[in-house]
């Protein structure tokens, strides 16, 4: 009797106090606790992108590739992005990154799996999923790596194993936000390393991260992986900036 009562009261409490009761995009109260983003914002955020870069997957106005991929020979092979990084989605990324909204990262990570399957068959030949790492000092301050939560959700949905220790960040670099493209690249130069080459050698790798801006971070990871024998390097992100 007590169990039923406590179950009911938990359910009751949960209905009124879901883990995050506000839509991270517009800030309105979520009346339905099965949602992590309100229906109105979800409709805007998940609008199908008309044109996407065939290399990095970001939304473009037209043509085949984005300006970043056109101007650079980046070492990653292909990327997929769940939505565009804009004024509607920037607060979602902020909520995942700085406000401990783990549930939101998990749910969007699961959704990312279905989005990748809808857009390509790259998961069918991926051997391992690696999150873009944080430097250990930043991990200690933040308490979690949002890219790892996304990677775990993707691993759970796809059945592809995850390894969170093999790709590491060796240099504590300054925050990329506010830096120019060339400064970002300089900032990241040789800042990633591999702890066990045998884990990545001849493997097709899927990197995960929350957001793709210029691609400098993913490229630096990809360079480190390929330097140590990785075969193909793909990536999947929640949001990507349009260039
Ligand atoms: Zn909303
Ligand atoms: Zn591109």
CA 87 to centroid of ligand 2, rounded, Å: 21
Nearest ligand to the C-alpha of residue 43? 1
Nearest ligand to the C-alpha of residue 240? 2
For residue 1, being part of any structural domain is answered with no
Closest CA to 134 of 208, 57, 240: 208
CATH of the domain at 146: 3.40.50.2020
CA 200 to centroid of ligand 2, rounded, Å: 24
Q: Calculate the CA dihedral of residues 44, 47, 51, 56 and round it to 10 degrees.
A: 80
For residue 153, being part of any structural domain is answered with yes
Domain count, the chain: 1
CA 44 to centroid of ligand 2, rounded, Å: 22
For residue 25, being part of any structural domain is answered with no
CA 88 to centroid of ligand 1, rounded, Å: 9
Domain of 120 in residue numbering reads as 49-240
- pLDDT tens digits along 175-221: 666 677 777 777 777 799 999 999 999 999 999 999 999 999 999 99
CA 24 to centroid of ligand 1, rounded, Å: 7
- pLDDT tens digits along 127-184: 999 999 999 999 998 899 999 999 999 999 999 999 999 999 998 876 666 677 777 7
Helix (H/G/I), strand (E/B), else coil: 46: coil
């Amino acid at each position: 009797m007590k169990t039923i009562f406590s179950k009911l009261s938990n359910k009751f409490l949960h209905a009124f106090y879901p883990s995050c009761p506000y839509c991270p995009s517009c800030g309105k109260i979520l009346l339905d606790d099965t949602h992590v983003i309100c229906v109105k914002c979800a409709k805007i955020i998940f609008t199908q992108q008309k044109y996407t870069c065939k290399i990095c997957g970001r939304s473009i106005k037209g043509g085949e590739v984005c300006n970043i991929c056109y101007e650079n020979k980046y070492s990653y092979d292909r990327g997929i992005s769940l939505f565009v990084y804009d004024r509607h989605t920037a607060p979602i990324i902020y909520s995942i990154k700085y406000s401990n909204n783990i549930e939101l990262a998990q749910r969007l990570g699961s959704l990312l799996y279905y989005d990748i399957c809808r857009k390509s068959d790259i998961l069918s030949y991926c051997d391992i999923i690696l999150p873009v790492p944080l430097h250990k000092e930043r991990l200690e301050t933040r308490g979690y790596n949002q890219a790892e939560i996304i990677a775990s959700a993707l691993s759970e949905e796809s059945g592809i194993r995850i390894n969170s220790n093999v790709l590491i960040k060796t240099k504590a670099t300054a925050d990329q936000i506010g830096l120019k493209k060339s400064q970002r690249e300089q900032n990241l130069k040789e800042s990633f390393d591999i702890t066990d080459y045998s884990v990545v050698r001849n493997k097709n790798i899927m990197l995960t991260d929350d957001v793709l801006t210029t691609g400098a971070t993913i490229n630096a990871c990809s360079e480190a992986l390929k330097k140590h024998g990785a075969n193909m390097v793909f990536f999947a992100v929640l949001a990507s900036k349009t260039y």
